[in-house]
Copies of this chain bind each other. A is one copy, B any other.
Amino acid sequence: MTRQASPEPEVPQQAGKLLTQIAGYVGVRTIVIGLRLGLLEEIGKHQDGITTESLAQQLSLDPFYVGVWCRSAYAAEVLDLGEQERYRLAPHMDKLLLDVNFPGHIGGVPQVMVQPEFFEHFEEKLPSGDRLWWDQCSPDFITAVSDTGRPFYNRMIPGGLSKVPGLQQRLEEGASVLELACGAGNGLSAMARTYPNCSFEGVDGDAYSLSLTKERLAGEGLQDRITLTQSTLEDFDASGAYDMVLINISMHECRDIDKVTLNVHKALKPDGYFVISDFPFPASVEASRTVPARVMSGIQFFEALIGDQLMPTQAFVDLLNGHGFRDVEAFDITPVHAVTFGRK
């Protein structure tokens, strides 16, 4: 066969791109079944591996079906196979899929994406353009979303924050910290334990989330060091009060991002830090074909449903520069997690 020099990809190459994505789909569904039914957790208990029969017995599951699942999980490189047909977790899968406190935890993402709130609801609302709100989401979905937010905190505290020049020292010596959109208090709790000399304030628009946070912080004996305030970020008003303002994966959700940035600027002490922890969505369509960008393109489906979109890091940089912050910089912690910061 003579092959013409041509930039046009051929059929098998294009088919391969589709098949690779279908293989990924299969892997994700396999992982989610493994997480939901405790298969991965059980396998993780057996360092030397476990046969499909023993696994089925341990979990009271059908052995034939468990065998089919194990083979697909092996194909997805989530399991390895040892002697005597014993499956064990592939390296680091315990941390990546099972340990919600591991900074690189990924297990929450597949669990969120298979929920109907993601692609099914999007498809349903494509004609009308109707939005979805959190109160129409299932408790399972909200829990899953919250789990995907936790690694962002675990990467920031103390790792990400320590990379902001001068900030670590200030937090160690004792500082007044405001967290915007503090949600269920994962960040406040982690920061209060990591920075014992600091005092904290958490602001969130959702009364229910704040009630959960209050209960949680009381349980951890942290209530005296943390104030909670119910307010939208647009209405929050303070002056010269904080050494640092942190907002974690919520800046892209602001209804009026300029107003919020103005509020933060006003709320900071002179030299105070504004730290934005968020997704780094590519600035151009052309940059969307990397693996992290493709994952984030999927997250955009749900963001769209709630009327938001992930933003490029450069947009945060421009925002801070445009509102008089100085020393504005940004860096990536992981391919799906960027930090932008500036000083008043």
Q: A17 contacts which chain B residues (CB < 8 A)? A: 76-77
Given A22-B113, A295-B23, also A11-B126 (CB < 8 A): no
Chain B residue at smallest Cβ distance from A336: B19
Q: Are B33 and A28 in contact (CB under 8 A)?
A: no
- A233–B200 alpha-carbon span in the complex (Å): 74
Least Cβ–Cβ distance between A287 and chain B, in angstroms: 9
Q: A2 contacts which chain B residues (CB < 8 A)? A: none
- A247–B21 alpha-carbon span in the complex (Å): 29
- A19–B106 alpha-carbon span in the complex (Å): 8
Q: Are B304 and A64 in contact (CB under 8 A)?
A: yes
Q: A1 contacts which chain B residues (CB < 8 A)? A: none
Q: Which of A66-74, A216-224, A238-246 lines the interface with chain B?
A: A66-74
- A12–B334 alpha-carbon span in the complex (Å): 9
Q: Are B22 and A72 in contact (CB under 8 A)?
A: no
- A125–B126 alpha-carbon span in the complex (Å): 32
Chain B residue at smallest Cβ distance from A335: B19
Least Cβ–Cβ distance between A283 and chain B, in angstroms: 12
- Which residue in B21, B25, B62, B122 is a CB contact (below 8 Å) of A125? B62
